Amino acid sequence: MWSESLTDREAEYTETAIEGLKGVTWARPVLDRLQQAGGFKSENMPLMFEVRVAYELHRAGAVAEYEYSAGVGSSTIEFCVQGEIIWLIELVSVRASQAAKKAIIQDGFIYKQMLSTDANDRAQSPEAEMITAQQKIGEKVFADNAPTKFPVPRDNFCHVILTDMRGYLDEGGDWLDYRQIAYGAPGIPPNYSWATHYWNTGMGISEPIRGLFEESCPLRASPFIQERIHFLGFVCERDYREGEIQDISYYLPNPNLLSDETAIKLYKEFPLKHR
């Protein structure tokens, strides 16, 4: 699968990021963690993503604390950036699911991923992959039957989950997928309603997949996301270059916590906002 392959381009840019962070005291634990895990290899791509995000924070002039404890048990959040607004930024990497891997077939010298809405195995469908991505994001607020990482928001704290979507459908999906993951069908513009993903709930009944910010979302983590997370961000790097994470990340505010006006004001202060 392409998303599971470490490319030369990704490795080269991560090396550039490491060089750029070598003299940055707060980033030392980020680099050490990657080195201790064995450096550049496919299973460490989430750690390499952490390095690149740290590098972009540094390039934006931010000073961050790595593995910050926000007081929720023994759990920690990847980055805390201090300032008038204190940003708690957690990263999650969506890797290819086992069902998606099983859906790979060989056609001559070409390997294809055959995910289908009509698949006999419902797990081998784009809809199942969307729900799996939601579950991965949800694990950042609710794990082992208890809240984790993020506390209930306090004044001038802003909570962000940024998801590396590379493993989603093996090509990262698009902004319409991201809007449904966050908002459900109401987040899809009417002229794009054809892009809405439906899940068969049984007895031949299909319903749109609910978004993590929707009160009707059945995932156990969703109430905690609605209560504790201000922005969900999505990114799928293609070029692996300086500034790409800011340029292409897609952030969606939580309407349960933020008005449109407040979300815009907050985003303008976000260290990884679009340049």
Q: What percent of the chain has pLDDT over 90?
A: 81
Question: What confidence tens digit (pLDDT) does each residue in 201-219 have?
Answer: 777 788 999 999 999 999 9
pTM of the model: 0.90
3-state secondary structure of 46: helix
Question: What confidence tens digit (pLDDT) does each residue in 141-157 have?
Answer: 999 999 999 999 999 99
Q: Can you name the residues that pair with 199 across neighbouring β-strands?
A: 207
- How many C-beta neighbours within 10 Å does residue 218 have? 11
For the chain, the structural domain boundaries read 63-268
Residue 49 contacts residue 95 (beta carbons within 8 Å): no
Residue 98 has pLDDT above 60, yes or no: no
Q: Taking the alpha carbons of 25, 26, 27, 32 in that order, is the dihedral positive or negative?
A: positive
Distance CA 174, CA 232 (A): 14
Distance CA 49, CA 18 (A): 11
